[in-house]
A and B are shown apart, each in its own frame.
Chain A
Amino acid sequence: MDNLRDLYQEVILDHNKNPRNFRKMEEPDGFAHGKNPLCGDQIDVYLKITDGVVEDVSFDGNGCAICTSSASMMTTALKGKTEAEAEALFNSFHHALTDEGTFPDDVPLGKLEVLTGVKDYPVRVKCATLAWHTFDAALKKMQGNVSTE
């Protein structure tokens, strides 16, 4: 049980219980639906981008504590970031959970650091990264849309 406390830290349990920015967004600039078919986690990520800056980001859906808290922390971390900063944070977070070693372009994770305990539970890594992948998809879809218009 003690090692589990590293995974289910108070911060994580708190974000799970009271997820931040947990709401559907009307008329978002970007949107994507993410799904982890293995465990049934489902999440929608909504984006509002103004002049290349994440003005608002929210999510809703249904996931485990790791998935929900990661999504919640992601939304608080992303607000105010430029698209490039957001992508860098996504990559760094992804590296921290999935790869050994350091990457030259990695940025500090700040509060997201508490989620890196997930690394010791390989089957749960997908739970922690689902929101980020969904965010990434929403952003890419948006950028895709812009370039075809």
Chain B
Amino acid sequence: MTNSAQYDIQSIRDDFPILERKIFDKPLVYLDNGASTQHPTAVINAVKNLYEHSYANVHRGVHTLSQEASNLYDDARVKVRGFIHASCVHEVVFTSGATESINLVAQCYARPRLKKGDEILITHMEHHSNIVPWQMVCEQTGAELKVVPISDKGELEMDQFHALLSEKTKMVSVVHVSNALGTVNPITSIINAAHELGVPVLVDGAQAIPHLPVNVKNLDADFYVFSGHKIYGPTGIGVLYGKEKLLNEMPPYKGGGDMILSVTFEETIYNQLPYKFEAGTPNIAGAVGLGAAIDYVNKIGIGTIAAHEHGLLMYATSKLEQIDGLRIIGEADQKAGLISFVLDGVHPHDIGTILDGEGVAIRAGHHCAQPIMERYNVPATARASFAMYNTFQEIDVLAEAIKKTINMFN
């Protein structure tokens, strides 16, 4: 549990202007953070400040503004490096988001290496963005996709993982925290086992990065990906962390400006890391906003945030468990940041609409994880996902709104 003297929730809430919103005359209770988080003034101002004072294209002009914008853009990369504890700044590639990062690795790392008979190992709890890019590689190379099953509780069946991991496995890609179940996966054991066979591992950290301290070096992850908009930053910016050696071995993803050292029509010499993977004018404001978001998270402390959210999760779990007819989907021992649930006789879509009438924003649907819905035999779930600014009182509002929903339908 968090110590309220240390955790000044009100001053945090004051930093997020949107939390003032009323929805149908009720205070907004924003519990759709798994889809996207809201933005503190510091992030909004960083983007505003860039556009009002320092905006120009990066790495191109000798003039002052281009210098300033380039510095701000490069600073953002330095901040990301520090936040995920990468060895060096050029291991941090800016992309448009987790999805693009995974596609980049699939196309530039896996595709050139894989052939018929090879296998790619993922899990049953992946987001579509960590399924489809690998299916595409399989189609392109003849490799086969293998899937680690999950238990009724929503945990990876690790004995199955070890059984499926073999000489044939050429790539492992696994979600750190499941967006549909909240499960925190035993990433370290997975990486260690894969490395014993010399297999590289991509970790989809989209849902982990806002909730847990991440240290890519200690994890020994080969690739780690996330999106800025799930950690209080802007949309359209994301990160691919890759070990220098692997990134160097990979061909560029896109061709264009900024990714080359010299171009003639006979030969092009690619730029060094990370620019090799950043063709074209990048999302400058997005990177700057992400840098500010990381500063903000660092100011509060990711460990402190994790503790607060763990308190919310425990409290919400105990509250929701008491509601008759409510079933929580995903009851792993290690969970972070969210609760998926279904109600007897009420479709999640209706839950979402009725809760919205109470000012409570949740996600209803398959969460881009249809295989999970199939696994638990539900068409969809409702999902409340937490962030640093959520309060225990908001959980009470959620629970009351759920009870109202049940009453309405019975």
Contact = CB atoms under 8 A, between A and B. Distances in A.
Interface size class of A (residues with CB under 8 A): 20 to 34
A64 interface: yes
B30 to A, nearest CB: 17
A65 interface: yes
Given A8-B408, A63-B347, A64-B347, A39 B365 contact: yes
B404 A1 contact: yes
A8 B365 contact: no
A13 B349 contact: no
Contacts, number: 58
Interface in A24-67: 38-42, 62-67
A68 B245 CA distance: 55
A32 to B, nearest CB: 18
B408 A64 contact: no
Contact of A3 (B346, B357, B370, B373): B357
Interface string A64-91: 1111100000000000000000000000
Nearest to A61: B379
A16 B24 CA distance: 25
Contacts of B350: 8, 64-66
Contacts of B346: 65
A7 interface: yes
Interface in A87-128: 121, 124, 127
Contacts of A66: 349-350
A39 B379 CA distance: 8
Contacts of A7: 353
Interface centre among A40, A65, A124, by most chain B C-beta atoms within 10 angstroms, is A40
Given A13-B408, A39-B364, A64 B349 contact: yes
Contacts of A13: 408-409
B260 interface: no
B345 A62 contact: no
Contacts of B176: none
B365 A40 contact: yes
A17 interface: yes
A121 to B, nearest CB: 7
A47 B170 CA distance: 50
Interface string B339-377: 000000111111001100110000011100010010000
Contact of A40 (B24, B345, B354, B379): B379
Contacts of A62: 347, 379
B380 interface: yes
B373 A4 contact: no
A65 B409 contact: yes
Contact of A38 (B24, B345, B365, B409): B365
B380 A39 contact: yes
Contacts of B358: 1
Nearest to B378: A40
B366 A3 contact: no
A20 B145 CA distance: 43
Given A39-B364, A64-B347, A65-B347, A121 B353 contact: yes
B139 to A, nearest CB: 21
Contact of B349 (A3, A17, A42, A127): A127
A62 B366 CA distance: 13
Interface string B395-410: 0000000001000110
Contact of B357 (A1, A41, A42, A127): A1
B184 to A, nearest CB: 25
Contact of B353 (A41, A42, A68, A124): A124
Contacts of B370: 40
Given A3-B24, A62-B379, A39 B349 contact: yes
A41 B379 contact: yes
A15 to B, nearest CB: 12
Looking at A4, A41, A62, the one whose CB has the most chain B CB atoms below 10 A away is A4
A16 B346 CA distance: 9
Contacts of A64: 347-350
A1 to B, nearest CB: 5
Contacts of A68: 347
Contacts of A127: 349
Nearest to A127: B349
4 tightest Cβ-Cβ pairs between the two chains A and B: A64-B347, A64-B349, A40-B380, A40-B379
18 contacts: A1-B354, A1-B357, A3-B357, A7-B353, A13-B409, A16-B409, A17-B345, A17-B409, A39-B348, A39-B365, A39-B380, A40-B349, A40-B365, A40-B370, A41-B347, A65-B347, A67-B347, A121-B353
